[in-house]
Amino acid sequence: MSDMTASRVDLEELRQTVADVIDVELAEMTNDAHFVEDLEVDSLMALEVMVVLEKRYQVKLHESELKDIMSLRKAHELLTRKLSDVST
């Protein structure tokens, strides 16, 4: 089990991680850029984002939760919530 806490979901690190996976410039990865509509993320890329975030943050993500992480801000919120659940 991870010892991470919610405060350790660093937004800038998350930005870098997701940008690396979907291969976009950091400047394009704004907090509210929609992964599909703005950054042209397809389903396979979305699955890649999910598995990379699972490993990095040691949380379990379900495919049905993908709709909740369609922007950096949403992804940060979900990870923060999940890690908070783990730590409580």
Partner 1 sequence: MTGRVMLRFAQVIRTEDVSVVGEELMRRAASLLGHQPLAEVRVERRPGGAPRIVSSRVNVSLSHSGAIVVAAASLTGAVGVDVERLRRLRDVGAVADRLRAAWPDEPALSERLLTHASAIEVWTRCEAVLKVLGCGLRRDLQTLRASPGGPPWTVHVLGLPTPLSVHPVVLAPGYVGAVATTRSMTSMHVDRQGLDQQGIPLHPPLAPVGGQHNEGDLPHE
Q: Which of 21, 24, 33, 86 binds partner 1 (CB under 8 A)?
A: 21
Dist CA 5 CA 9 (whole Å): 8
Dist CA 9 CA 37 (whole Å): 25
Q: Cβ closer to partner 1: 9 or 50?
A: 50
Does 54 bind partner 1 (CB under 8 A)? Our answer is: yes
- Closest separation in Å from C-beta 2 to partner 1: 16
Does 64 bind partner 1 (CB under 8 A)? Our answer is: yes
Closest-CA residue to 79 (of 48, 57, 52, 49): 57
How crowded is residue 70: how many other Cβ atoms within 10 Å of its Cβ? 19
Given the rule CB under 8 A, which residues bind partner 1? Answer: 20-21, 42-44, 46-48, 50-52, 54-55, 62-64, 66-67
